[in-house]
């Protein structure tokens, strides 16, 4: 009956994930349970045929998972000339048999002529990666527009708040670091808040009521010698701390109400709209050829930390979020440079996957980078020839991490990057990725 099938599937799941112990099994259990639910609940009530079909289909799915054994480390074309998983697949009613799993447009002519031949995962990844490039017009126009807006904003801030020592605004984001894929439609604008280190110091969020190591508080010190008013930033103090919320509100007002965006837009040949209702300080920019959103982040750099004025929702209003973005990107590039590795290529492909699958959006960017960095500590071979192995390994690692609900920050093991995810989100991502482990090409 179903019970024993269930056991077999779970035993296989343990093999697939290569992790011992029970920790890893909840997602596998969930995946199997969903399939069984689907098998036992009629899709179209009152139509026994539909029910029958759904049952049959689901059993095929179960069989698919059952065959989900770790693929041989180095797949070769010959290995794939006989379809591994297709017998179950091609029996699914209503589904055109596609035993090769190949997408024809990518296949070389001789491959097309022989339907059973198939590209290896490695070949698919490489050909897929060439389709991820950001269109040239966007890649050049977006930073150019953003830079022009940046200059206008800087001038405005200087004239409006001559007493506030803002640093030079600069652009940031995956596009500038060569890790953006598919489309360039957002860019970050960093606004440095320059603090006198004699007047301010940092308190870890761990030591505050929120007990969260992702955040910091910036405390005004030496008030005895330098009373309130000595620092130009003192007007943003709430209860002795530099308030990210008050600064945000001031800038929000400025973006929404003070700056003459229609005039600036006219000058730059685009329409610029501040997002009034957004939690972030955001501008939408529409140009004939591109559309983008620009998010402004006030940033404090102190004691080797990069802190953003992004307080957590609700709760305490004085918190600053530590950003590891710059460290992430430079570490990945450094590692690739030292061993001619393909980490950035792997990340681009994975970012493309997360971008095109709504349920995986929250894994894109930082979490993926941290997984790649963790794996870099363990696996030495990041050469392009091993791309498929590493890609597969990242997927397995993600499933195992989702399973535990824990992805430790590479730079601070006290931080769990998954702490903000909802249980349903974890389940959904785990489900999608778990099923992809046996057949990673479904993600491409
Ligand atoms: C920033 O201020 C605006 C206006 O008060 C508010 O709507 C928004 O939620 C704030 N954002 C954050 C991150 O607190």
Convert the pLDDT of each residue in 205-242 to its tens digit.
998 888 899 999 999 999 999 999 999 999 999 999 99
Over the range 53-78, which residues count as b (16 or more CB within 10 Å of their CB) and which as e? Answer: bbbebbbbbbbbbbebeebeeebeee
Question: What is the phi/psi pair of residue 241, to 5°?
Answer: -120, 145
Q: Computed from CA positions of residues 94, 99, 101, 107, in that sequence, does the dihedral angle turn out positive or negative?
A: negative
Pair type for strands 186-192 and 291-302: parallel
Give this prediction's pTM.
0.76
Q: Whose CA is nearest to atom 11 of ligand 1?
A: 279
Task: In whole angstroms, give the CA distance from residue 143 to residue 270.
Answer: 14
The best mutation among 257, 279, 283, 296 to test binding of ligand 1, ranked by most ligand atoms within 8 Å of the C-beta, falls on: 279
Tell which atom from ligand 1 comes closest to the C-alpha of 245.
14
Q: Domain 133-323, CATH 1.10.3720.10 — does that match?
A: no
Residue-by-residue DSSP string for 386-412: GHHHHHHHHHHHHHHHHHHT--B-SS-
Query: CATH number of 324-444: 1.10.1410.40, 3.30.420.40, 3.30.70.20, 1.10.3720.10?
Result: 1.10.1410.40
Query: Ligand 1 mean position to 260 CA, how many Å?
Result: 20
Query: Ligand 1 mean position to 249 CA, how many Å?
Result: 6
Distance, CA of 192 to chain centre: 25
Query: Ligand 1 mean position to 103 CA, how many Å?
Result: 46
The pocket around ligand 1, CB under 6 angstroms, is made up of: 245, 248-249, 252, 279, 310-311
**Cβ(204)–Cβ(230) under 8 Å?**
no
pLDDT of residue 97: 43
pLDDT of residue 439: 87
Tell which atom from ligand 1 comes closest to the C-alpha of 253.
4
> Among residues 339, 331, 340, 402, which one has the least CA distance to residue 372?
331
Q: Whose CA is nearest to atom 7 of ligand 1?
A: 279
Query: Ligand 1 mean position to 298 CA, how many Å?
Result: 13
Query: Ligand 1 mean position to 316 CA, how many Å?
Result: 13
pLDDT of residue 311: 83
List, in sequence order, every residue forming a beta bridge with 215; answer none if it has no partner: 321
List, in sequence order, every residue forming a beta bridge with 217; answer none if it has no partner: 203
Q: Which residues of the chain have pLDDT under 50?
A: 18-24, 44-56, 58-59, 62-116
**Cβ(132)–Cβ(181) under 8 Å?**
yes
Tell which atom from ligand 1 comes closest to the C-alpha of 256.
4
Query: Ligand 1 mean position to 325 CA, how many Å?
Result: 22
Query: Ligand 1 mean position to 161 CA, how many Å?
Result: 20
Task: In whole angstroms, give the CA distance from residue 125 to residue 390.
Answer: 11
pLDDT of residue 380: 79
pLDDT of residue 438: 84
Q: Computed from CA positions of residues 429, 432, 438, 439, in that sequence, does the dihedral angle turn out positive or negative?
A: negative
Q: Whose CA is nearest to atom 8 of ligand 1?
A: 279
> Among residues 335, 298, 304, which one has the least CA distance to residue 412?
304
pLDDT of residue 265: 96
Domain boundaries, the chain: 2-70, 133-323, 324-444
3-state secondary structure 149-197: HHHHHHHHHHHHCCCCCECCCEEECCCCCCCCCCCCCEEEEEEEECCCC
Task: In whole angstroms, give the CA distance from residue 167 to residue 145.
Answer: 20
């Amino acid at each position: 009956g179903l019970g024993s099938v269930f056991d077999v599937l779970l035993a296989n799941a343990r093999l697939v994930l290569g992790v011992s112990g029970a920790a890893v099994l909840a997602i596998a259990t969930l995946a199997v349970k969903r399939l069984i639910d689907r098998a036992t609940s009629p899709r179209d009530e009152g139509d026994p045929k539909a029910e029958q079909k759904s049952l049959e289909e689901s059993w095929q799915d179960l069989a698919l998972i059952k065959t989900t054994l770790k693929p041989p480390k180095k797949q070769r074309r010959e290995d794939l000339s006989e379809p591994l998983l297709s017998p179950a697949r091609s029996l699914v009613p209503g589904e055109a048999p596609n035993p090769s799993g190949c997408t024809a447009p990518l296949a070389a002519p001789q491959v097309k002529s022989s339907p059973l031949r198939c590209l290896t995962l490695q070949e698919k990844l490489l050909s897929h990666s060439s389709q991820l490039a950001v269109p040239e017009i966007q890649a050049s126009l977006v930073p150019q527009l953003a830079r022009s807006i940046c200059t206008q904003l800087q001038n405005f801030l200087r004239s409006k708040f001559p007493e506030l020592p803002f640093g030079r605004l600069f652009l940031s984001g995956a596009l500038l670091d060569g890790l953006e894929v598919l489309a360039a439609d957002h860019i970050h604008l960093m606004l440095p808040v320059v603090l006198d280190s004699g007047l301010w110091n940092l308190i870890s969020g761990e030591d505050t009521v929120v007990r969260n190591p992702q955040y910091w508080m910036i405390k005004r010190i030496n008030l005895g010698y330098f009373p309130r008013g000595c620092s130009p930033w003192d007007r943003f103090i709430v209860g002795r701390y530099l308030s990210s919320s008050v600064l945000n509100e001031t800038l929000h007002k400025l973006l929404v109400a003070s700056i003459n965006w229609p005039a600036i837009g006219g000058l730059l040949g685009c329409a610029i709209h501040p997002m009034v209702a957004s939690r972030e300080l955001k501008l939408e920019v529409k140009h004939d050829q591109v559309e983008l959103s620009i998010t402004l982040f006030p940033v404090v750099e102190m004691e080797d930390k990069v802190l953003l004025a992004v307080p957590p929702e609700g709760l305490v209003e004085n918190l600053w979020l530590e950003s590891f973005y710059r460290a992430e990107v430079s570490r990945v590039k450094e590692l690739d440079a030292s061993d001619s590795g393909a980490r950035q290529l792997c990340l681009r492909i994975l970012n493309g996957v997360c971008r095109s699958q709504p349920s995986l959006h929250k894994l894109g960017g930082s979490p993926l980078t941290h997984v790649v960095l963790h794996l870099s500590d363990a696996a030495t071979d990041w050469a392009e020839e091993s791309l498929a192995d590493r890609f597969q390994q990242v997927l397995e690692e993600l499933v195992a991490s989702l399973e535990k609900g824990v992805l430790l920050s590479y730079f601070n093991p006290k931080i769990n990057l998954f702490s903000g995810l909802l249980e349903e989100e974890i389940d959904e991502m785990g489900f999608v990725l778990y099923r992809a482990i046996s057949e990673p090409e479904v993600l491409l």
